[in-house]
Amino acid sequence: MTNLRMAAAWGCAVLVVFLTGCTTLRETYDDVKGSISGIFGGSDENLTAEELAWAGMEHYDDGNYKQAIDNFQRLKDIYPFSQYAILAELKLGDAHYRLEQYEDAIFAYEEFEKLHPRNEAVPYVIYQIGRSHFDRITTPDRDQTAARKALETFQRLTRQHPDSPYARRAEEHIVSCYKSLSGHDFGIGVFYFNSKHYPAALARFRTVVTDYPDVGYHQQALDYIARTEERLADVAVSGAASKTGKGS
């Protein structure tokens, strides 16, 4: 357990350096060594900002995300101007995400981006916002709000930070979002077609072809467009014949 605790503390030190840029790695590590025994040997009641950060990281690395959230939230509330507060802001999002508490994760990530728009972690934060939406996508026949929000977020990431490795990851998820959205529109089109609402069906199938090309439903939509246009032509012919019959 001692090695695990040291690893958690060391990981926390690296994160603080990455997020704040306020100190050197050597200085941070010396601080860790000086306080490590006090962090894990006593009560959590009167921990400093540094100690709350290390404790939160240890709980996070152990998978105790609820306890990590408690530590990080206390750090934020009690020491809002500490250099460790930025770490707490980021890891709160991560811990909520791990617990699949996606709304809370999104709130934490969005707050981080708003407070630290120039921080190096922002591409990661935007990616995680997208993932928090993306992980709630179910099947094409269900509501597509999550898919739309995920798509918008991933597209923002690729637009604002095109060289980030997280932008490259986002591109893969964008394709999945397109598949879900196109499947949804295709399914509605089929429903309209079977219900003989041909103009509405045609509009949906054309949306699939124009907005979501080559993501799984393109050829099926083209086939249905041809069938729908045939049905519309038949309806037009029947309508014309009916009017002629009445006129005579």
Interval 189-234: pLDDT, tens:
999 999 999 999 999 999 999 999 888 899 999 999 999 999 999 8
Residue 152 CB contacts under 8 Å (≥ 6 apart), including other chains: none
Determine what percent of the chain is predicted with pLDDT higher than 90: 73
* Longest alpha-carbon distance in the chain: 103
Q: What integer pLDDT is reported at residue 243 of this predicted model?
A: 62
Residues 98-108 have a mean pLDDT of: 98
Nearest to 212 by CA among 159, 172, 176: 176
Nearest to 154 by CA among 137, 140, 175, 138: 175
Residue range 3-42, pLDDT digits in tens:
445 445 445 544 654 565 444 333 443 454 444 444 444 4
Residue 75 CB contacts under 8 Å (≥ 6 apart), including other chains: 49, 52, 53, 56, 82, 84, 85, 87, 88
- Give the sign of the dihedral formed by CA 42, CA 45, CA 51, CA 53: positive
The answer to which of 25-34, 106-115, 139-148, 227-236 has the lowest mean pLDDT is 25-34
The answer to which of 12-21, 27-36, 129-138, 146-155 has the lowest mean pLDDT is 27-36
CA distances for 200 relative to 148, 209, 221, 237, angstroms = 21, 15, 13, 19
- DSSP-assigned letter for residue 28: H
User: CB of 41 within 8 A of CB of 51?
Assistant: no
- More confidently predicted of 245 and 49: 49
Residues 54-70 have a mean pLDDT of: 97
Q: What integer pLDDT is reported at residue 17 of this predicted model?
A: 45
CA distances for 222 relative to 82, 156, 202, 232, angstroms = 59, 30, 10, 15
The C-alpha torsion from 161 through 166 and 172 to 176, rounded to 10°, is -90
Residue where the block lists tokens 């040291």 = 6
The answer to which of 43-52, 66-75, 159-168, 214-223 has the lowest mean pLDDT is 43-52
